[in-house]
A and B are shown apart, each in its own frame.
Chain A
Amino acid sequence: MSETGRYMYAISRGIDPTALDATRGLDDGKLAVVEHRGLSAVVSDVDLAEFGEDGLRRNLEDLGWLERVARGHDTVVQAVAQLGPAAPLRLATICLDDDAVRARLDEWYDGLTAALDRVEGRREWSVKAFAPVRAAAERPAATTASGAGAAYLQRKRTETLDRQQAEQQALELAESVHARLSSRSVASRRLQPQDPKLSGFEGTMTLNGAYLVGVEEEAEFAAVAEALAAEHPEARLVIHGPWPPYSFATLEQT
């Protein structure tokens, strides 16, 4: 017995449902638009064995599953964002049926309206900064001279202090970059730094910044970001965008 639920991708308003016909949801599901009080929830059917409580608990630990679902979710969000303001929902927001979807829209009405107002005409930019990659410390030639042990400890102490100072400087630089970029955007957030093994970037990430920028201000924002990147090459700033406003539309941020 395979039960299905309604997977919710994003909320929008004033969109033409037929414009989504060319886009498929997860597991190649057909997209539907559930309307309520002027809000439009974009949904599709998913199997509850996969997306119910037990299934989710298992699958959320699996990077392969996460990748497939995240990509599928993003495909729909990007399609919706082409049609109107889009408030993307978190991964795996499931309702049992369309009545439940409408009930959620009711419950979240104020927050969703505020979110849509906030993101309308605006897109998200991502700027990341990194601590400088430090060259491995010099190893003096091995020696059995007297005092070599004490000298070793002294060297380690100096290396530790140098490293701590470099870390401090890198963190302060990240703060100041974030402050500059925040002043150039409607809203900003600092996201969790990413593990180098997952991000593919070398070294410690000191800033994982998300910035909400109006479409007309994008050129200016990008110019400021690129100027900062040129000013601080050691921070290896990485600038991406524009993206749908993922970090600014979820209800927790209202």
Chain B
Amino acid sequence: MIDEPRRLPQRLETDPESVERDLFKLVLTVIELIRQLMEKQALRRVDEGDLTDEQVEGLGLGLMHLEQAMDELKSRYGLTTADLNIDLGPLGSLLSE
């Protein structure tokens, strides 16, 4: 009953000067998405209860380092997670945080 909303492509209007920053933002967006999906999946696997304590610890440490690395990258370009977020329509926002 509700029609599909009209989707406007987002244009990354770059000029030679800002190309680096704009492309970096796009790359960070994709990496952040993957990182969040990995965390969700890791939590699911841990909840399934079939991982050893060592595996759980290893997963957690790896993800923790990933988060720290992302924080570092974002701060280098003065970006917040909100800056990276993109609306996917029916799939909701790209990033959950």
Contacts and interface: CB of A to CB of B under 8 A. Distances in A.
The answer to whether A binds B is yes
Contact of A151 (B6, B60, B97): B60
A153 B62 CA distance: 10
Contact of A153 (B42, B82, B93): B42
B57 A195 contact: no
Q: Report the interface size class on chain A.
A: 20 to 34
Contacts of B64: 142, 148-149, 152
A148 B60 contact: yes
Contacts of B22: none
A18 interface: no
B8 A63 contact: yes
A85 B62 CA distance: 64
B6 A149 contact: no
B8 A61 contact: yes
A60 interface: yes
Tell which of A63, A153, A204 has the most Cβ of chain B within 10 Å: A153
Contact of A149 (B9, B59, B68, B82): B59
Given A160-B43, A163-B96, A150 B6 contact: no
A148 B5 CA distance: 45
B43 A149 contact: no
Contacts of A156: 39, 43, 63
Nearest to B56: A150
Interface in A113-158: 136, 139, 142, 146-153, 156-157
Contact of A152 (B9, B61, B82, B97): B61
Contacts of A2: none
A183 to B, nearest CB: 22
B9 A153 contact: no
A61 B9 contact: yes
Contacts of A153: 42-43, 46, 56, 59-60, 63
Contacts of B87: 195, 197
Contacts of A196: 82
B61 A148 contact: yes
A63 B67 CA distance: 36
Interface string B24-54: 0000000000000001101100100000010
Given A63-B8, A153-B59, A153-B60, A142 B68 contact: yes
A153 B68 CA distance: 14
A149 B60 contact: yes
A61 B9 CA distance: 8
Given A152-B60, A163-B97, 10 more contacts: A148-B64, A149-B58, A149-B63, A150-B56, A153-B42, A153-B43, A153-B56, A153-B59, A160-B43, A196-B82
Q: What are the nearest 9 A-B pairs in CB distance? A: A149-B60, A149-B61, A149-B57, A152-B64, A153-B60, A152-B60, A195-B87, A150-B60, A150-B57
